[in-house]
Each structure stands twice: as C-alpha cells, then as structure tokens.
Chain A
C-alpha cells in the first residue's frame, strides 16, 4: 500500500526520505561527526585505529639528528647566528640545529612541587 502512495505522491516521498536521514543522524550522531571530519580532511585514511595512530603512539619521544643536515645548515649560516629550537622542539631536521641549550637540562637544584608548598621559580 505504501508503494502505491509513493507512486502517486512523488513530492511526499522526498519528504519522508528527509525525515529518515534526520532520524538516522539522531540515532547515530557519530556518523554525522564522521561526515564532518571527512569533509574537513578528505585524505583521512580508512583505517582509523590502524597502524598510523599506533605507530605514532609507539614513537613518542623520538628525536632525530642528522649530522649531514647539521653541517650543511651550519655552512649556510656561516655569517648568521645559529637558529635556536623555537617552540616546536619535536621536529629536528636540517634547518633546526640542536644546540646545547635545546637539549633536556638535568635539573641542577630540587624544585619542590607546589602541592608541597614549593616556591614559584
């Protein structure tokens, strides 16, 4: 019977379809969010929980130094001051030359935690 109705009233049919989509989005807000994300980043891979995420997680803390890049950049900067790390310390390639100031400093004195009422530095 519903089929007959659809044939007779094509305008109403689109209305019903629209309602269906809205219901679906209501049932699955995740899908709507997924659509939003894919619209922003169309190149996002199909395997979200797969290797890319996990490899990034496993490689946390990795810092790379290439002596060839270092020497080439140094040669370029003969007359200029060596650039320092800047805020983004996670990328260490040719342009950024790690300096002794950039390397993690060993704490020279004990700074007490503020939870224990320590002084503000």
Chain B
C-alpha cells in the first residue's frame, strides 16, 4: 500500500506545508474537446509566468499578480497574460504523415530584456516565441490619421512632433525563429543549455543541438537508429541539459536506462560517459517488466547533483556519482501492479507521467490517476496524496489527503483501486522555482495550489 500520511502535513524547511486550493482554469463541463487537452505546463525562471500548451496547438500564459500588501494572506493570483496559436496541424504529403499540432513541450528562456522568450515544440517543429508588452503608442503623425489612413499632403499646413501616449496594455506574441525539418521521428523533449545560446531537441532515435540564432542548421549529437530497423530494441524517451555544466546532458530510454553524455568527448555522443541502470532480478521478469520500466521523464535537480526519473510505477532519484542504482525510490501507485493486465488492455500502461522538483530540491511531485497527485519529501521520507478536484473549491481550503485501499477492508474516506477513474490522469505538474506554489493539469483544467500563508 502506498504510505499516505494521514495528517496531511509535510515538513519543508522546518515548517509544515499545508496545501490549499488557489485557482482553477478551464471549462467546467465534462465533455472535453480534444483540442483542450493540456499537454504541457511550465513556470518561467522567476515563477511570475506560467505557460500551458494544449493538443490544439495553443499556448496560454498566465501572469502572477503583484502581491497585494493589504491582502497578505495569499500570494498573487495567476491571470491570463497572453494566448496564441503556436502550431497548426500539417500534412506531410511526401511521407503521408499527419503532423499533430499538439504542443509537446514548452521551455522558457531566462529573461534578458523587457521581452519574454519561450520555445514550444510539436512532433516536428520547434518555435521561438517572443512575448512583449506594448503600453504606449505613437500619436500625432503628420501624414497619417489616427486610424492609419494617409492624409492628403496638400492639406498639411503645420508640423508637429509625434509623441508616445499611454495605451491599454497589449501583450503580443510573435514567432522569431522556426526550427524545422531536423527530425524524422517525433520530438519528445527540448532543453535549453546553461550557456543560454544553444538548446537540444530529442526525438525517438536522435538528439540534435541547435543555436538559438540559427534555424537552417543543427548538429546531430546522438543517433541510436540501428542500421537495420528490425534490430530496434529501445527508443529515446526524454533528454535534458545539465543545469550548470553546459557540456553535459542526459537522455532516458524505453528500457529504463539513463545515459549521461559529455559533448567535449566527441562530436557524436553515441558513447555515453555514464550509464545509469538499476539491475533487475531476472527471476522477477514478466511480460510487463520492460514496459513499466520505460522512463517517461527525466529532470535534473536545481543543484545539478541529482536527477529524477519517472517510470510507470515509481519515481527514482539518482546521484550523478553513482550509476549502479538510484539513491532513493518512491512508489507512486504500487497497487497498480496487480492491475497491469487491464492497464495494458486499455493502453494506460503507456501513459507518460512527468515529475518535478521543488525549488530547494527537498520535495518531488508527480501525478497519478483519479486526478490524484503525489508528493515525496526526501528529508522526512513522508509522502502525501492529494486530489485536483472542483469539490475543494474554496480558496484557502486545506486539501485533505487521499488514500487508496489496495485490497481488503476499505476504511471510511479511502477509495478502492477498482473505483479509480483511469481517464482522469495527471500527467503534467509544475512547481514554482522559488515558492510553494504548484500547477497541476488534469485533462483540460489547470489547478493552482499554494501553501497556507498564516
């Protein structure tokens, strides 16, 4: 049984964290249009902006309000800042391939000037978007009317100097770079290098290195495509650059391994510098072993000393200095092990859950089914299961911990495994880089929770 701690409190830096509902975004109705399915969630580096991408190719960015000094019992709310259509559906006629507009990943660039930049990607094309504010406009042109029509120059009798006048804030998104035609297979990851000049994109079999300024060229740095496709045994599932070392990146595989590569070693990083793999007892092997060992997400800690991987049933923390086994393993929903047959039949066993660290790397979070999500405190070893549901709608309501009953007598307030709704998956979660604010995406709604501020 997953050890959900009944009290609902977790220590974080000496203080008990009590999670409260803050906001929920999205439609209330149960009839979910496919385009509205949220496919990625990401805070920017300051935490002021929160971006979501969906299956319809749209990006919505929320901005945190400045803290209201009078109402100091809660942090600023997130409100819509900008929204735009990032990708559109395409059809590759040459290959008879339908290219979905679904946004697979969004990654923010660190802010360098007044504008914000982010990378968004679908299966084939990565785009660099500039989001800028306009709060003044020039007025008083000599040759143009205010509505833009040109004046007859013969009617101009005096000259004036155009001036900037304030206007209602307008947030504009414009595509600045389009990085296309570099991936034969489907892009699953993008990651910006700590040099802030380059980034990587990974598909099922290859990883490419790009320069943010150059769109017509990319370098292939990993290629695991076998000469004979019949020999294909594993694919790349995720990749990320190290947060501090600009020469280091990792990629995970469908076989549960993680390879760390050093770009200084050679131009093509097919030979890893480190291989992280937990040995498996061969007598425990079953038909499902490889499928559930497939890593769906890999994330470095902010410190750069650890990395976290998510496979179907667990979250593992690896010390970069130790390749032969993870230093910590947390069971997300072990009770599903005896349901693998039906989870295989309904394809849920292939669901790709993501995971994330809190700002101080002391707590990790990941999603589960029934709109449950789990947090594991690495210091206290306590964990908690919470639910993203509109039933707990009142702001500053402390969320009640949930518990799943694997078998036997179900206690009051527990939910049995067979009652779990496997259509309600939380695949995407994000943690504010500095504060205890989390964004949790259900199928088509975005929940924001905060810790209780006294």
Enumerate chain A interface residues (CB-CB to B < 8 A). 28-34, 36-38, 40, 44, 48-51, 53-55, 57-58, 60-65, 103-107, 110-118, 120-121
Which of the residues A33, A40, A48, A57 comes within 8 Å of B290, measured between beta carbons? A48
User: Across the interface, which residues of B come within 8 angstroms of A33, CB to CB?
Assistant: 286, 288, 337-341
Which of the residues A32, A61, A103, A112 comes within 8 Å of B97, measured between beta carbons? A61
Given contacts A113-B56, A120-B27, contact A61 B123 (CB under 8 A): yes
Stretch at the interface among B160-168, B194-202, B230-238, B361-369: B230-238
Give the distance in Å from the alpha carbon of A30 to the alpha carbon of B232 in the complex: 25
- The answer to whether B337 and A30 touch across the interface, beta carbons within 8 angstroms, is yes
Mask, B172-206, CB within 8 Å of A = 1, is 00000000000001100000000000000000110
Which of the residues B89, B95, B99, B345 comes within 8 Å of A106, measured between beta carbons? B89
- The answer to whether B287 and A37 touch across the interface, beta carbons within 8 angstroms, is yes
* Pairs across A and B, CB under 8 Å, 23 listed: A32-B338, A33-B286, A33-B339, A34-B287, A40-B341, A40-B345, A49-B291, A55-B232, A58-B204, A58-B235, A61-B98, A62-B97, A62-B98, A63-B97, A64-B96, A104-B98, A105-B89, A113-B54, A113-B58, A113-B60, A114-B27, A114-B36, A120-B29
The reply on B132 being an interface residue by CB < 8 A is: no
- The answer to whether A113 and B36 touch across the interface, beta carbons within 8 angstroms, is yes
User: Across the interface, which residues of B come within 8 angstroms of A55, CB to CB?
Assistant: 229, 232
Give the distance in Å from the alpha carbon of A106 to the alpha carbon of B35 in the complex: 14
- The answer to whether A63 and B284 touch across the interface, beta carbons within 8 angstroms, is no
Which of the residues B35, B38, B90, B234 comes within 8 Å of A54, measured between beta carbons? B234
- The answer to whether B27 and A57 touch across the interface, beta carbons within 8 angstroms, is no
User: Across the interface, which residues of A come within 8 angstroms of B341, CB to CB?
Assistant: 33-34, 36-37, 40
Q: How close is A43's CB to chain B, nearest CB, in angstroms?
A: 13
- The answer to whether B96 and A117 touch across the interface, beta carbons within 8 angstroms, is no
User: What is the interface residue range for chain B against chain A?
Assistant: 35 or more
Enumerate chain B interface residues (CB-CB to A < 8 A). 25-27, 29, 33, 35-36, 38, 52, 54, 56, 58, 60, 80, 83, 85, 88-91, 95-100, 123, 185-186, 204-205, 229-230, 232-235, 254-255, 284, 286-291, 294, 337-341, 344-345, 444, 446
- Chain A's closest residue to B62 (CB) is A115
Q: How close is B333's CB to chain A, nearest CB, in angstroms?
A: 13
- Chain B's closest residue to A65 (CB) is B96
A30-B284, A104-B89, A114-B26 known, 16 other contacts, Cβ within 8 Å: A29-B340, A30-B337, A33-B341, A37-B340, A48-B287, A48-B290, A49-B233, A49-B254, A51-B229, A54-B204, A54-B234, A104-B91, A104-B98, A114-B36, A115-B52, A117-B80
Given contacts A58-B185, A112-B83, A113-B54, contact A103 B235 (CB under 8 A): no
Which of the residues A28, A36, A58, A118 comes within 8 Å of B284, measured between beta carbons? A28
Give the distance in Å from the alpha carbon of A42 to the alpha carbon of B102 in the complex: 36
User: Across the interface, which residues of B come within 8 angstroms of A54, CB to CB?
Assistant: 204, 232-235, 254
User: Across the interface, which residues of A come within 8 angstroms of B344, CB to CB?
Assistant: 37
- Chain A's closest residue to B290 (CB) is A49
User: Across the interface, which residues of B come within 8 angstroms of A120, CB to CB?
Assistant: 27, 29
User: Across the interface, which residues of B come within 8 angstroms of A57, CB to CB?
Assistant: 204, 235
